[in-house]
């Protein structure tokens, strides 16, 4: 049953995306926030530091660390003593955390982190794509991608609840497109403290570092055990598949807003062409679909909200009757000439009886604008594929041929 | 003095292990109401093969280079939860994790002023990986990545002065210790953990395997380092040396220390070794003068 | 036994690992010489020196690895290292 979002206009305020997220973090009652500046994430931790300076976050310590590596490492310690722990980063900062990301997940510490998605160096670029978080897909972090600042804000509370579930205990990233969402001002409903207190129970992990029961955290595992620890992490991810859906439903019931669980659909029911995408580009695609639907073009959108865990069944269920699937990726696996969502979507269709052509476009790298005309062109290509099949499986979009 | 060990037996440290002794002394000084973080290294590996642990206090290992940051987070978390009052936070790691790869996170933790104590167990090389040179390896020591050879006397650089680096952060208390003076070390750890703010203990810890001496000589070698002046024992409060352990009028020559160890053996067999030993004696003499040993 | 997510261990469980088998030489007390100074107990890297009710000590051969630090440091030479008979 599709869920509707009704925005309470009397509660709406116009704020920057970063502020909306920082406010969400505040009402989730964090105990430790670690912060290191990096564009375009910085406004989030600046807003949080102002909340701290104004005494608005009780029982919380704010640590100005000396690097992103230490930002996440500090949260290893705080989360292990039972403190709800949060940080935000992007791009180079996230890549610097790479080693710690695996560690946090393996130690089953439910840290939540906002990633204001940005391209990675070199060449250095502060503008948006999603290469940074996609490059961390194997680290054992839940990854949700937000379509707009309301969703980025709402997702924060959802992720604490998902990550801290005793059957999951896995960290998570709330991914929002840098600048496009982090720096844009839009009307939103800021999460209410009273509803959030009801929605999100206090963090009360089964095991903590505590002198009254002196446990050892972070032992090493020899080949007799290592495989099973990996297996448990994967099981937790599979549990998260269900939990992401139920938490989105609970959120909808309590706050009245729903932006999808693992996925969301727009005009997919009778669609011949289904476009798959993650993040803010979803809004642009919806506009194009609205226009094309007026001309009876049967095109729909499959918004992928959860990239980890990967919602294979949900995706298959939506695209099984389509005539062509187009996957947009703001990332590339170099040497594969394809983006991650495209590769993984294709992989989950193999060994099934779904036989739909899938084509991929790498788009919006390093902040390259994605005009509606680009989406139009991609849909024109898809129409061509319906007639005569795939000629190019995966390609760069809007490449300036004259420069290469 | 409480002689109850909070480091359980059954760990897989070598016979005569310096890390086990240093950890035991540290816990004797800190007491059982503490949380310990250890970076990757011998101490971590030998004490925590899943599902066993030798720690009778809460203990955490995260990575090689982040003990300072993890300790910061533990301290901040305890504060936020209202549990910091009585619980001490201790980070305890080797010289590689302290002077080299973990230096940035430690610097950050000291600069921010977290209330914790960092204990460096300095056995002067990367022992866990097989005796490779670190920033704490002394002049002319032969290691597996700074071996003595036909044209080399071993490690070409003197030890990095880590206590001075920490003192420069404005730490209220920095002390050097030695395994040969356990009561001194226990007292210094106790003092360090009772002082509010980030405090530092640097323990000289001879490694039977890495340095090449009999397993029974760990304490004897440590004592000789102090007697020669190569390892001065002192305390610094707010950047000023306030206490020094005098070693008496008759100082042992550095040869007495060097000849006990395989890592310096080449100095006694190679041509030019005598001049090199004289340079090491100069280091000891400088210490004797600087600290008034 | 089920593994614990995150590889969390219960305190002091390494006591299950009897390291006494590593030993080549075993320390033996001469209680006539012992002055109960506790140095052997303090220094033992394996916490394998246990106090007795009478103030003397005994070795816990389940864990003693035979390093010989106790014998080497004993101020009264009250500990000798004897070849382990296997």
Provide ipTM, 2 decimals. Answer: 0.97
Radius of gyration of chain A from its Cα atoms, rounded to whole angstroms? 21
Token pair 């016979």 in the structure block, residue: B15
pLDDT above 90 coverage of chain B, percent: 97
* Residue A5 confidence (pLDDT): 83
- Kindly indicate the confidence band of residue B214, based on its pLDDT and cuts at 50, 70 and 90: very high
B91 touches chain A (CB under 8 A): no
Interface of B with C in 45-84 (CB under 8 A): 47-48, 50-57
- Kindly indicate the confidence band of residue B85, based on its pLDDT and cuts at 50, 70 and 90: confident
Res. B100: pLDDT tops 90 = yes
* Residue A7 confidence (pLDDT): 84
- Kindly indicate the confidence band of residue A6, based on its pLDDT and cuts at 50, 70 and 90: confident
Nearest CB among A109, A215, A229 relative to C10 is that of A215
Is C28 among the domain residues?
A: yes
Q: What is the mean pLDDT of residues B261-267?
A: 98
* Residue B4 confidence (pLDDT): 80
| Cross-chain Cβ contact B80/A79 below 8 Å | no
Locate the chain C residue with the closest alpha carbon to A169: C5
Calpha distance B77→B58 (Å, rounded): 15
CA-based nearest residue to B63, from B97, B108, B95:
B97
Is C6 among the domain residues?
A: no
Pairing of strands A112-117, A172-177: parallel
Please enumerate in sequence order all residues whose Cβ is within 8 A of that of A301, keeping only pairs 6 or more positions apart, or say none.
A265, A266, A267, A268, A274, A275, A276, A277, A282, A285, A286, A289
Asked if A305 contacts A299 with a C-beta cutoff of 8 angstroms, the reply is: no
B11 touches chain C (CB under 8 A): yes
CA-based nearest residue to A91, from A62, A131, A55:
A131
In the numeric block, which tokens belong to residue A57? 């976050």
Distance from CA of C23 to the nearest CA of B (A): 9
Q: A20: part of which helix (H) or strand (E)?
A: helix A17-27
Calpha distance B259→B24 (Å, rounded): 28
Res. A343: pLDDT tops 60 = yes
Distance from CA of C6 to the nearest CA of A (A): 4
Is C69 among the domain residues?
A: yes
Nearest CB among A67, A210, A216 relative to B53 is that of A216
pLDDT digits (tens, 9 = 90+) for B110-137: 999 999 999 999 999 999 999 999 999 9
> Is residue B49 helix, strand or coil?
strand
Q: What is the mean pLDDT of residues C49-53?
A: 96
Please enumerate in sequence order all residues whose Cβ is within 8 A of that of B69, keeping only pairs 6 or more positions apart, or say none.
A65, A69, A70, A71, A73, A74, A76, A77, B105, B108, B109
Q: Where does residue A317 fall: left (phi above 0), alpha (psi -120 to 50 degrees), or beta otherwise?
A: alpha
In the numeric block, which tokens belong to residue C57? 């000590």
Buried b (16+ CB within 10 A) or exposed e, B165-197: bbbebebbbbbbbbbbbbebbbbbbbbbbeeeb
B63 touches chain A (CB under 8 A): yes
- Kindly indicate the confidence band of residue A4, based on its pLDDT and cuts at 50, 70 and 90: confident
Res. B18: pLDDT tops 90 = yes
The full DSSP string for A46-97 is HHHHHHHHTT-STT-EEEE-SSHHHHHHHHHHHHHTT--EEEEE-HHHHHHT
C3 touches chain B (CB under 8 A): yes
A126 vs A5: which has the higher pLDDT = A126
- Residue A343, CA distances (Å) to A359, B142, C32 in order: 10, 51, 79
C9 chain-B contacts, CB cut-off 8 A: 48, 50-53
pLDDT digits (tens, 9 = 90+) for A95-110: 999 999 999 999 999 9
Distance from CA of A116 to the nearest CA of C (A): 28
| Cross-chain Cβ contact C9/A107 below 8 Å | no
CA-based nearest residue to A188, from A147, A141, A221:
A147
Res. A2: pLDDT tops 80 = no
- Residue B105, CA distances (Å) to B64, B68, B81 in order: 11, 5, 23
Q: What is the mean pLDDT of residues B216-229?
A: 98
Mean residue pLDDT of chain B comes to: 97
Res. A204: pLDDT tops 60 = yes
Chain C adjacent subunits, 3+ CB pairs under 8 A: A, B
Is C41 among the domain residues?
A: yes
Q: What is the mean pLDDT of residues C18-26?
A: 97
Report the 10 Å Cβ neighbour count for B104. 16
Interface of C with A in 41-80 (CB under 8 A): none
Interface of B with A in 97-116 (CB under 8 A): 104-105, 107-108, 111-112
pLDDT digits (tens, 9 = 90+) for A216-231: 999 999 999 999 999 9
Locate the chain C residue with the closest alpha carbon to A167: C5
C5 chain-A contacts, CB cut-off 8 A: 108, 169, 229, 232-233, 236
Calpha distance A90→A36 (Å, rounded): 10
Domains held by chain C: number: 1
Query: The whole model's pTM is what?
Result: 0.97
CB burial of residue A209 (10 Å; 0-12, 13-18, 19+): buried
* Bridge partner residues of B61 (DSSP): B38
Residue B55 DSSP code: B
| Cross-chain Cβ contact C5/A169 below 8 Å | yes
- Residue A247, CA distances (Å) to A65, A188, A262, B105, C31 in order: 32, 20, 10, 36, 70
* Residue B2 confidence (pLDDT): 55
Res. B3: pLDDT tops 80 = no
- Longest alpha-carbon distance in chain C: 52
Asked if C22 contacts C46 with a C-beta cutoff of 8 angstroms, the reply is: no
Strands (E), A257-393: 263-266, 273-277, 299-304, 306-308, 324-329, 358-362
* Bridge partner residues of B192 (DSSP): none
Asked if A279 contacts A182 with a C-beta cutoff of 8 angstroms, the reply is: no
Asked, as a colleague might, if the bond just before B205 is cis with ω within 30 of 0, I would say no
In the numeric block, which tokens belong to residue B153? 């006397």
Is C8 among the domain residues?
A: no
Supply φ then ψ for residue A247, to 5 degrees.
Answer: -70, -40
Is C38 among the domain residues?
A: yes
- Residue C83, CA distances (Å) to B209, C23, C24, C62 in order: 21, 9, 6, 16
Angle (CA) B205 B210 B214, round 5°? 80
- Kindly indicate the confidence band of residue B68, based on its pLDDT and cuts at 50, 70 and 90: very high
Token pair 């101490």 in the structure block, residue: B43
Task: Give the range of the structural domain holding residue C48, as residue numbers without chain letter.
Answer: 24-83
Is C4 among the domain residues?
A: no
User: What CATH number is associated with residue C55?
Assistant: 3.30.70.20
Calpha distance B86→A210 (Å, rounded): 12
> Which residue intervals of chain B are DSSP H helices?
18-30, 42-47, 67-80, 95, 103-112, 162-167, 182-194, 218-228, 254-258, 273-291
Calpha distance A395→B108 (Å, rounded): 45
* Residue B143 confidence (pLDDT): 98
C6 chain-A contacts, CB cut-off 8 A: 106-109, 169, 207, 217
Asked if B116 contacts B91 with a C-beta cutoff of 8 angstroms, the reply is: yes
| Cross-chain Cβ contact C11/A236 below 8 Å | no
In the numeric block, which tokens belong to residue A288? 């194009």
Is C65 among the domain residues?
A: yes
| Cross-chain Cβ contact A216/C8 below 8 Å | yes
Chain A adjacent subunits, 3+ CB pairs under 8 A: B, C
The full DSSP string for A117-177 is E---SSS---S--SHHHHTTGGGS-EEEE-SSHHHHHHHHHHHHHHHT-TTT---EEEEEE
* Residue B194 confidence (pLDDT): 97
Res. B1: pLDDT tops 80 = no
* Residue C18 confidence (pLDDT): 97
């Amino acid at each position: 049953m599709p869920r509707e979002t009704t925005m309470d206009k009397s509660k709406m305020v116009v704020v920057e995306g970063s502020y909306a997220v920082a406010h969400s973090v505040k009402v989730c009652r964090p105990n430790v926030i670690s912060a290191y500046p990096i564009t375009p994430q910085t406004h989030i931790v600046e807003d949080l530091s102002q909340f701290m300076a104004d005494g608005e976050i009780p029982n919380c310590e704010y640590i100005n660390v000396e690097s992103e590596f230490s930002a996440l490492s500090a949260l290893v310690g705080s989360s292990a003593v039972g403190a709800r722990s949060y940080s935000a980063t992007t791009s180079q900062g996230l890549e610097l955390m790479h080693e710690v990301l695996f560690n946090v997940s393996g130690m089953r510490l439910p840290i939540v982190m906002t990633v204001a998605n940005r391209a990675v160096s070199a060449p250095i670029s502060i503008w948006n794509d999603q290469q940074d978080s996609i490059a961390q897909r194997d680290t054992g972090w839940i990854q949700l991608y937000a379509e707009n600042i309301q969703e980025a804000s709402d997702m924060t509370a959802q992720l604490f609840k998902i990550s801290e579930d005793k059957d999951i205990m896995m960290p998570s990233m709330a991914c929002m497109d840098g600048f496009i969402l982090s720096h844009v001002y839009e009307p939103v409903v800021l999460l209410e403290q009273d509803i959030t207190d009801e929605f999100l129970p206090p963090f009360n992990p089964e095991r903590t570092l505590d002198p009254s029961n002196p446990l050892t955290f972070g032992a090493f595992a020899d080949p007799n055990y290592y495989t099973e620890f990996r297996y448990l992490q994967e099981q937790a991810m599979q549990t998260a598949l269900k939990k992401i859906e139920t938490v989105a439903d609970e959120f909808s019931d309590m706050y009245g807003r729903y932006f999808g669980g693992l996925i969301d659909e727009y005009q997919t029911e009778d669609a011949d062409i289904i476009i798959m995408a993650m993040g803010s580009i979803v809004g642009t695609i919806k506009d194009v679909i609205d226009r094309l639907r007026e001309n009876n073009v049967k095109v729909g959108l499959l918004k992928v909200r959860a990239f980890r865990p990967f919602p294979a069944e949900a995706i298959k269920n939506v695209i099984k009757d389509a005539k062509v699937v187009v996957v947009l990726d703001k990332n590339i696996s170099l040497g594969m000439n394809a983006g991650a969502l495209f590769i993984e979507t294709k992989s989950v269709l193999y060994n099934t009886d779904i036989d739909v052509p899938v084509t991929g476009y790498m788009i919006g790298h390093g902040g390259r604008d994605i005009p509606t005309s680009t989406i139009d062109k991609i849909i024109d290509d898809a129409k061509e594929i319906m007639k005569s099949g795939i000629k190019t499986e995966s390609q760069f979009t809007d490449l300036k041929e004259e420069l290469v | 003095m409480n002689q109850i060990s909070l480091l359980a037996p059954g760990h897989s440290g070598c016979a005569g292990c310096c890390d086990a002794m240093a950890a035991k002394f540290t816990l004797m000084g800190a007491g059982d109401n503490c949380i310990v973080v250890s970076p990757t290294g011998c101490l971590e590996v030998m004490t925590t093969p899943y599902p066993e642990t030798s720690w009778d206090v809460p203990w955490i290992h995260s990575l090689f280079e982040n003990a300072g940051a993890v300790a910061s987070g533990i301290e901040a978390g305890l504060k936020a939860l209202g549990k910091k009052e009585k619980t001490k936070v201790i980070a305890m790691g080797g010289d590689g994790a302290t002077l080299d790869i973990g230096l940035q996170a430690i610097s950050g933790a000291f600069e921010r002023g977290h209330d914790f104590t960092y204990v460096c167990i300095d056995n002067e090389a990367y022992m866990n990986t097989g005796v490779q040179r670190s920033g704490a390896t002394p002049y002319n020591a032969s290691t597996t990545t700074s071996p003595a050879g036909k044209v080399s006397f071993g490690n070409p650089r003197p030890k990095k002065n880590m206590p001075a680096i920490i003192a420069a952060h404005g730490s209220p208390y920095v002390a050097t210790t030695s395994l040969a003076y356990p009561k001194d070390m226990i007292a210094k750890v106790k003092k360090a953990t009772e002082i509010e703010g980030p405090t530092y203990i640097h323990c000289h810890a001879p490694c039977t395997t890495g340095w090449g001496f009999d397993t029974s000589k760990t304490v004897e070698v440590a004592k000789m380092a102090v007697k020669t002046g190569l390892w001065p024992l002192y305390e610094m409060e707010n950047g000023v040396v306030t206490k020094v352990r005098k070693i008496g009028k008759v100082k042992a020559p550095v040869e007495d220390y060097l000849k006990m160890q395989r890592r310096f053996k080449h100095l006694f067999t190679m041509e030019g070794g005598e001049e090199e030993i004289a340079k090491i004696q100069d280091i000891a003499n400088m210490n004797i003068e600087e600290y008034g040993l | 036994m089920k593994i614990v997510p995150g590889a969390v261990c219960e305190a002091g469980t390494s006591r299950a690992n009897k390291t006494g088998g590593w030993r080549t030489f075993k320390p033996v007390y001469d209680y006539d010489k012992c002055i109960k100074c506790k140095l052997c107990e303090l220094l033992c890297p394996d916490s394998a020196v246990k106090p007795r009710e009478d103030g003397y000590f005994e070795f816990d051969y389940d864990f003693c690895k035979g390093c010989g630090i106790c014998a080497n440091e004993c101020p009264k030479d009250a500990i000798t290292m004897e070849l382990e008979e296997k």
